[in-house]
Structure 1
């Protein structure tokens, strides 16, 4: 039986986590299409994700915008991401949350 190293499992978990930022709930995820991004690419992906979800272009993500995006990860973690408790998520709060889950 092959032994799977912790680093390999962590890489798979990170790839799946990043995929939830990009994949709509109605889309199929294929691991062959998921790659682990460098921090620069991850930042670009977060910026693209943020601007896609921010439909009113006010620079903040509201609960209704996140709900409409069908991003379950953001909905489940809304309170944890919204550090200043203003009922919206800024790009900085999203980036901080992303960095936090990458280090776990």
Structure 2
């Protein structure tokens, strides 16, 4: 799997990473195996949001597709669904779905 960073200017091969971590500034970074460089993947408003994004990245790790690091708005939706435990409660824009009554 490949990971495209939040700025969309670096692609990191997930299988060649020694570690992917969150630093003290709520930034997600990747350290490739055998290289001393650290690649910036994304920065988020809080550590809890960054943890939710890292968890989302981990759940997509088995898929053999490119994972795009989400922007802040999408990251908040991911974090909200991780806390609520009901991702279908909100639409893709983060708002509650409108339920129209009737038969």
Name the TM tier (shorter chain). under 0.3
TM-score by length of 1: 0.28
* Bigger fraction of residues in helix: 1
* Bigger fraction of residues in strand: 2
TM-score by length of 2: 0.28
